[in-house]
Amino acid sequence: RGQNNSRVGEDVRPKKPAIPAPIPPPPQRHRGPLPYSSIGSQNVPVPLAANATLQRKKGMLQRRRNESVCSVCQKPASSFLIALDKKYHAECFKCVGCHNTIDSSGPFAYMTDERGDKHPLHRKCYAELYGVKCAVCRKSIPAGPDGKVSFVKHPFFDSEQMCPRHAQRPGRRCTGCHRFEPEGQPFADLNDAGRCVCYACCRSVIVDSEDAQPLWDKVVAFLETKLHLPIWKDLRKVPILIVGYEALNDQMRTTRAVHGGSSQIMTRGLCLTEHQSGRKFKLAAMKFNKNNLSFEACDVEARGFSFFQVPDASKVNPDASVTAILCLSGLPRDLAASVLAHEAIHAWIKLHPRFDIQYPIPPQVEEGCAQLVAMLFLTDGLDAAATETYDDGGPSDEKLRQYFKFSIETDDHEIYGEGYRKAAKAYSNIGIEALLSHVVLYQDFPET
């Protein structure tokens, strides 16, 4: 006889993917003057003028007239300084950075070696050796009179800090991870509306529609096998188009889409329905040129583009027709995949047998559900990301994926951020299919 390996009372139903624990934002996360930036500051761990004066009052930094031995030259001195628990000739009290004499009457810095011994430094030398470096100009960011270093920083990557003066005339940012482009070390140029991509994102960059098709297949398989959603007819065959910035934004203006004002998906993807049939899209066909560090046309005569015409809508049920999905070119693989997962939910909703275009779903509800599935896909729909880092100093693939999830979780936009959090709450209570079906039928989140 066949044996049943299930224990009595055991729940053998497939488990739904869990929403990951939130990634906490970095400390002092205040909105910065630029998109995808925050304002940061930190205390420079050096004695300030007030502290030095206090030390002199307490007798820790003073001149004495008794015989002693200098800790630097090991020679006796009738007059010496006491600082950092050591005795110095005035002329031996030198910076270990530049080896010039330090004025003992003013503030100074120090470093501590592996044995715990302290060594004096000019404050400027300390900043050069150990201070906060600007990611743009590579120079140390100077401290203010209060000893604090103020800077504009990336909200996720701690080493991405820049001088406040750069915010007044901001340079380019990576189109994938929004890191700052360093001066003299340009990122790869996408030749599309001034956009560029850093070399960390460039490792898996998606620049044409052929690259995107396997990602779409993976997204559909995730919806079917991991989320256990029914896959409607024609969802697998929706054309996936990788397009440039202007093509995507022109389409958003034409359709009056709500994709805007958020930090993650808005200007990166779009689901086209029957109302956009007949339009022609210019598609990129690009390759990377190592000589000039930019993407250029594969076919010079075609100038790097081919064209795709959106097919006519289904005559059986035009309200349930999805004609194409657009995704912005130049995104790293994981980000492009999350955009496709987001747009897949728009398509799934439009193709649902009970969807009625006369009863539109509020943007916060539909976009929130789409962001939820993008998060679930980043968490449970991709292979493990590589942890290796490279000589360019950029983040690993694993760190990039964490940032893409972080962007969804911490989005404060009313439609995308709040929508995601409401969708996540409902998902944790009733699961994804019940949530999406309720949204299609009642155009709102279920009461939980």
Q: What is the pLDDT confidence band of residue 224, given thresholds at 50, 70 and 90?
A: very high
Is the Cβ–Cβ distance between 179 and 159 less than 8 Å? no
* Percent share of the chain, pLDDT over 70: 71
- Domains along the chain? 49-127 (2.10.110.10), 199-442 (no CATH)
Average pLDDT of the chain? 79
The model's pTM is: 0.74
What pLDDT, on the 0 to 100 scale, is given for residue 379?
Answer: 95
- Residue 51's pLDDT is 36
| Parallel, antiparallel or unpaired: strands 148-153 and 161-162 | antiparallel
Output the pLDDT for position 107.
83
DSSP string, 305-354: EEEEEPPPPPSS-GGG-EEEEEEETTEEHHHHHHHHHHHHHHHHHHHSTT
The neighbour count for residue 408, using CB atoms within 10 Å, is 24
Average pLDDT over residues 144-153: 79
DSSP secondary structure string for all residues of 387-414:
----TT-PPPHHHHHHHHHHHHHT---T
Of 23-32, 84-93, 201-210, 298-307, which range is least confident? 23-32
Identity of residue 3: Q
Tell me what pLDDT residue 288 has: 62
Q: What is the mean pLDDT of residues 236-245?
A: 91
Could you tell me the pLDDT band of residue 276, with boundaries at 50, 70 and 90? Answer: very low
CA distance 148 to 146: 6
Q: What is the per-residue pLDDT for 86?
A: 87
Least confident of 60-64, 107-111, 214-218, 369-373: 60-64
Strands (E), 154-310: 161-162, 188-189, 196-197, 205-206, 240-243, 269-273, 280-284, 286-289, 294-297, 305-309
CA distance 437 to 433: 6
What pLDDT digit, counting tens, does each position of 347-386 carry? 999 999 999 888 999 999 999 999 999 999 999 999 999 9
Give residue 79's pLDDT.
81
Predicted pLDDT at 283:
55
Residue 297 pLDDT: 66
Q: For residue 343, which phi and psi values (nearest 5 degrees)?
A: -70, -25
Per-residue confidence (pLDDT) for residue 25, from 0 to 100:
42
pLDDT in tens, 153-180: 899 998 899 888 888 778 899 999 999 9
Average pLDDT value for residue range 148-153: 85
User: What is the pLDDT, as a whole number, of residue 47?
Assistant: 41
Among 15-29, 76-90, 110-124, where is mean pLDDT lowest? 15-29
Start-to-end C-alpha separation, the chain: 45
Residue 126, C-beta contacts closer than 8 angstroms, at least 6 positions apart:
44, 46, 97, 109, 110, 111
Given a cut of 80, whether residue 260 has pLDDT beyond it is no
Please give the pLDDT value at position 287: 64
pLDDT value, residue 387: 92
CA–CA distance, 424 with 367 (Å, rounded to integer): 12
Nearest alpha carbon to residue 338 among 402, 276, 427, 388: 402
Per-residue pLDDT, 141: 85
Q: Strand pairing partners for 43?
A: 148
Segment 239-256 shows an average pLDDT of: 80
Q: What is the mean pLDDT of residues 271-293?
A: 59
Residues in contact with 173: Cβ distance below 8 Å, sequence separation at least 6, in sequence order? 36, 179, 180, 181, 196
